[in-house]
């Protein structure tokens, strides 16, 4: 169970190396979802700065960002200048920029940009063909923030959202929040007199249905300083409305406070960088200059540090033993300190008929061409136990395999009914698509593959007259651990085996 837990964590939340910094490419593009079209300005990771230059190697998640009322998309250069070098594609719709914007349509436009950008990934000849990762965040400032709430309430394909000083809209963004179930980071400022927190962002945060939500209010932050400072109409409106408000922090301070929150937020949710979640939580819980609210800041993830090595449990490749450098020589996701006994696997015990019914080896046991006698048998090994062309006496009661990964770890026990495991061989393991099973029991009726969480991946009836079978299995998931189970017709389990699927 210990090894399984470690493997699953490593597959789902493998810490990444130091992120590459990209140059910024840009292009103007009309995106479509098949029904609606929207003009956009797109900034993306590139190897050289320029217009319509090639996208850098790799695939990149998408951030859709909506502008504020009477504020041009170009007033948010700090957004793409921060996110694109970190490996995000930033898409800014240029619609609804007049003095009578349609809020509902702007929400539709934001979603059109989200759908349309994903479509670019498979569009032959597109600049973004094969470059768009299937993860999208939606966000915006002021009116664009309210429109992001309208969009998120109507779009189940989004990964997460964030907003800057979101303003109430018509139809109501506050009402729409009740239909939002994705992670939501609501950023506001204490000195926002244009869209005050108590009538705009706080009601939106409170109404958000998702339990994974964070309200982040920056002390001294103003409404218009969520732009790059070049937003004349915004500052004019703020100047008339904000007499008596302040003092305000500087533009650079406000941008820094914003980036401290959105960078780890987006890198975790859109790029699966596990360590960014602990960075976000540590910042929100311990830094100064803001107030925050959250029903569950961890969003249900384990951010404890059981071994006090500075790596939280959900990211640690050996959570019970301190290893701050996370050394992993064989790159299997399990820290070297948890695999100390794997350094030497030279001891292999070959067992032939006639030996004792109990066997042990420091490292590994390979059982070949062996018939186990009546009664029960036990094996114990430090690394693995492998059975080849091995059978059981008809009245053997059970076989007990004890695999102790390392001398300082608790042994894991499994009891397998006799006559079954010995005569069935499943390979290869790990596998990609083709899976072979030899020496099936005549009683075998169904083969099933499930994820560790119980989700059905593959199921097939078995012809009991066939001793050998093979399947081409398309597993629609990344590298993962699967449980293979073979059943009798009455539902009784004949065999269970853990398999590693490689994409």
Question: Which three-class secondary structure state does DSSP give residue 487?
Answer: strand
Residue 475 binned pLDDT confidence (cut-offs 50, 70, 90): low
Q: Are residues 229 and 150 in the same domain?
A: yes
Residue 452 has pLDDT above 70, yes or no: no
pLDDT digit string (tens) for 125-162?
999 999 999 999 999 999 999 999 999 999 999 999 99
Q: Are residues 34 and 136 in the same domain?
A: yes
How far is the C-alpha of 378 from the C-alpha of 111, rounded, in Å? 60
d(CA 236, CA 93): 24
In-domain check, residue 292: no
Verify that 96 and 160 share a domain, yes or no.
Answer: yes
Q: Find all residues with CB under 8 Å of 20, minimum gap 6, and list them.
A: 87
Give yes or no: residues 220 and 73 share one domain: yes
> Within a domain: residue 304?
no
Whether 340 shows a pLDDT value over 50: the answer reads no
Tell me if the pTM is above 0.75.
Answer: no
166 falls within a domain: yes
Same domain, 209 and 115: yes
Token code pair at residue 276: 């960014």
Report how far apart, in Å, the C-alpha atoms of 408 and of each of 308, 318, 342, 359, 402 are.
Answer: 19, 13, 13, 20, 14
147: in domain:
yes
Radius of gyration of the chain (CA): 28
Tell me the pLDDT tens digit for each residue of 358-416.
555 555 555 544 444 444 455 555 555 555 444 444 333 344 444 444 333 333 323 33
- Phi and psi at residue 199, in whole multiples of 5°? -115, 0
**pLDDT attached to residue 378:** 57
| Structural domain includes residue 300 | no
For residue 75, the tally of other CB atoms under 10 A from its CB is 22
CATH number of the structural domain spanning residue 459: 2.60.40.3080
Distance CA(214)–CA(355), nearest Å, equals 64
**Number of independent structural domains in the chain:** 3
Q: Are residues 25 and 120 in the same domain?
A: yes
Note whether 372 and 459 are same-domain residues. Answer: no
Q: Provide the H-helix boundaries in 161-244.
A: 173-176, 201-207, 232-241
One domain for residues 437 and 371: no
| CA angle, residues 236, 242, 244, in degrees to nearest 5 | 145
Last residue of a domain, one of 214, 243, 272: 272
Residues 84 and 184 in one domain: yes
Whether 170 and 226 map to the same domain: the answer is yes
Domain-terminating residue out of 423, 445, 463: 423
Sheet hosting strand 425-427, strand order edge to edge: 425-427, 434-438, 469-472
Residues 127 and 211 in one domain: yes
Cα-to-chain-centroid distance, residue 57: 21
Domain of residue 484: give its range.
424-503
The contacts of residue 57 (CB under 8 Å, 6+ apart) are none
Q: Identify whether 297 is part of a domain.
A: no
Residue with tokens 């932050």: 221
Domain edge (last residue) among 369, 404, 423: 423
Where residue 215 sits, what CATH number does that domain have? 3.40.50.1820
Neighbours of 413 (CB within 10 A): 10
CA-nearest of 499, 497, 477, 484 to 12 is: 477
How far, in Å, CA of 16 to CA of 167, rounded?
36
The Cα–Cα gap between 201 and 148 comes to: 12
């Amino acid at each position: 169970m210990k090894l399984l837990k470690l493997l699953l964590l490593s597959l789902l939340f493998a810490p990444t190396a130091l992120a590459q910094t990209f140059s910024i490419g840009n292009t103007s593009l009309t995106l479509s979802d098949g029904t609606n079209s929207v003009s956009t300005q797109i900034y993306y990771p590139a190897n050289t700065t320029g217009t319509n230059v090639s996208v850098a190697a790799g695939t990149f998640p998408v951030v859709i960002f909506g502008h504020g009322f009477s504020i041009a998309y170009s007033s948010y250069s700090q957004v793409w200048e921060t996110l694109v070098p970190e490996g995000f594609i930033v898409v800014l719709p240029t619609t609804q920029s007049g003095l009578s914007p349609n809020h509902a349509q702007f929400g539709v436009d934001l979603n059109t940009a989200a759908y349309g950008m994903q479509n670019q990934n498979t569009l032959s000849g597109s600049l973004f063909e094969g470059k768009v990762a299937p993860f999208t965040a939606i966000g915006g400032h002021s009116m664009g923030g309210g429109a992001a709430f309208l969009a998120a309430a109507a779009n189940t394909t989004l990964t997460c959202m964030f907003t800057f000083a979101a303003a109430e809209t018509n139809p109501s963004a506050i009402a729409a929040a009740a239909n939002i179930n994705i992670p939501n980071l609501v950023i506001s400022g204490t000195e926002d007199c244009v869209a005050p927190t108590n009538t705009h962002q706080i009601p939106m945060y409170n109404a958000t249905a998702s339990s994974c939500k964070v309200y982040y209010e920056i002390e001294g932050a103003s409404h218009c300083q969520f732009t790059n400072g070049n937003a004349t109409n915004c500052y004019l409106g703020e100047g008339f409305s904000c007499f008596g408000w302040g003092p305000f922090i500087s533009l650079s301070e406000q941008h820094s406070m914003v980036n401290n929150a959105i960078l780890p937020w987006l890198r975790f949710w859109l790029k699966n960088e596990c360590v960014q979640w602990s960075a976000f939580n540590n910042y929100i819980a311990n830094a100064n200059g803001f107030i925050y609210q959250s029903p569950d800041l961890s969003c249900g993830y384990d951010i404890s540090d059981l071994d006090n090595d500075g790596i939280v449990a959900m990211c640690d490749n050996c959570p019970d033993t301190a290893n701050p450098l996370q050394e992993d020589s064989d790159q299997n996701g399990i820290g070297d300190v948890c695999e100390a006994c794997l350094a030497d696997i030279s001891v292999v015990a070959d067992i032939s008929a006639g030996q004792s019914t109990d066997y042990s080896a420091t490292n590994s046991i390979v059982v070949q061409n062996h018939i186990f006698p009546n009664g029960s048998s036990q094996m114990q090994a430090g690394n693995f136990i492998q059975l080849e062309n091995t059978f059981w006496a008809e009245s053997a009661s059970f076989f007990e395999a004890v695999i102790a990964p390392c001398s300082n770890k608790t042994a894991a026990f499994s009891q397998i009914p006799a006559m079954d495991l010995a005569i069935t061989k499943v390979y290869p393991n790990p596998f990609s698509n083709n899976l072979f099973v030899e020496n099936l029991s005549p009683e075998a009726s169904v083969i099933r593959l499930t994820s560790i969480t119980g989700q059905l991946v593959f199921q097939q009836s078995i012809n009991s007259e066939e001793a050998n079978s093979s399947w081409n299995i398309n597993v629609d998931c990344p590298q993962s651990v699967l449980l293979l189970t073979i059943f009798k017709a009455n539902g009784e389990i004949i065999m269970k085996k853990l398999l590693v699927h490689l994409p």
